[in-house]
Amino acid sequence: MTAVDSTKAEMTAPVPQMRRPWGTWALGALILFLAVTPFILVIVISFGQKIEGAGWEWDFTLANYQRFFVGALWPDEVTFLHLQRLYYALYYAVIASVLAVATAFPFTYLLTRQSRRAQSCWLVFILASLSLSEVFIVMGWDVLLSNRSGLPMLFEVSGATDWLKRTGWFEVLREWGLANPRNVKFKTSEFATILTMSYLVWPYAVILLYPALSRLDPSLTEAARTMGAGPTKVMTSVILPTVKLPLIGSTLLLFVFLLGSYVTVVVFAEPAKQTTAVAVYESVRGATLDAPFGAAQAVVLLVTAALFLVLAQFLTKRSEAR
């Protein structure tokens, strides 16, 4: 920012101006250093090379990416182990985020029709559960879903297990991996993983949908009702089209958020169905200690996340423009 620029801005803008460009520069440099350098380092180190038994060194090799997409022994042998982990990360995140938004949408709609005071109370509760650490949420569901206490015990004691066995549903649950020979079991399973993930982002879904739904003009729905539209018709022809873009945008944001979830997957997913985030952790700090490969996996995760964020941003912009 030059002196000429700042005087020009001073004349046009109706608000006070900062007169210290060096301060602005320092702030910019500090933020760039703190917020951007880490990402650049991850990208640069992903091209590095592991030294056996020591650490890693700078390099420019694509070996880490080759290992991720086709396996270390390519072209003699092809494995998709790492791609499969990315697939599971996407798979859990897609179902969980769609599920969260689908259930949070009617809730948020009803919430915005409440009094201001009631809304505040609900928001306090939702924000508190939103900020609750993933370790605590997994702890709660762990107790609820573990075999010795919680739901499986409730099934056993209430006789639901016997009822399931009599009606034949038990065999179906066993096929889905949700029962052992004696009782229902939820750990470890895709069901438990997706349930916990969707619980994890549910409060976020409410917070993200809240602005769009609370700005929904009530006269629109009233007009539709007056003209004889039923509740279903009002929902599908008035409300849903207005909030379609925020709905998709929120789903994308939650999806990106879930791509990085770690504790849920470690505790609830089967060992063969772990995700890229877990693999990053294992490579950088866990048993294998291969920082460049960990960085390469992190870059893949980063690029995937960034793609969906850009898409979400684009949709939000479009919905604001209308």
Partner 1 sequence: MRRTFGHIFMALSGLVLALPIIVVAGASLNGGRTMLFPPEDPNFARFVEFFITETIWVRALRNSLIVAFGSATLAVLLAWPLAYLLWAKGSKASKVLAGLGSLPFALPPIVFGVGLGFMWAFVGSLGAIWVGIVSHATLFLALPLVTISIGLQSIDRAHLDAAATMGATEVVTFRTVILPQTLPYSISGFFFALVLSFNEFIVMFFVSASAYATVTLQIFNSLRNGYTPTMAVAAVLFITVSIAVFSAVARWGDLPRLMGADQSRN
* 39 contacts partner 1 (rule: CB under 8 A): yes
Q: Which of residues 139-158 bind partner 1 (CB under 8 A)?
A: 139-144, 146, 148-150
Query: 268 — phi, psi (to 5°)?
Result: -105, -20
214 vs 288 by CB, closer to partner 1: 214
Q: How many CA atoms lie within 13 A of 167 on its CB side?
A: 9
* 37 contacts partner 1 (rule: CB under 8 A): yes
Stretch of 25-33, 59-67, 157-165, 234-242 lying at the interface with partner 1 (CB under 8 A) = 25-33
* 119 contacts partner 1 (rule: CB under 8 A): yes
* 294 contacts partner 1 (rule: CB under 8 A): yes
Asked if residue 81 lies in contact with residue 242, where contact means CB atoms within 8 angstroms, the answer is no
* 98 contacts partner 1 (rule: CB under 8 A): no
3-class state of residue 51 by DSSP: strand
| H helix runs in 46-185, sequence order | 63-70, 81-112, 116-131, 134-145, 151-158, 160-167, 169-175
Q: How many CA atoms lie within 13 A of 285 on its CB side?
A: 3
- Among residues 83, 90, 98, 132, the one that binds partner 1 under rule CB under 8 A: 132
Give the nearest distance from C-beta 322 to partner 1 in angstroms: 16
Q: Which of 101, 122, 142 is nearest to 257 (CA)?
A: 101
Give the nearest distance from C-beta 57 to partner 1 in angstroms: 13
Q: Which of residues 206-265 bind partner 1 (CB under 8 A)?
A: 207, 210-211, 214-215, 218, 231, 256-257, 259-260, 262-263
48 vs 170 by CB, closer to partner 1: 48
- How many Å apart are CA 45 and CA 37, to the nearest integer? 12
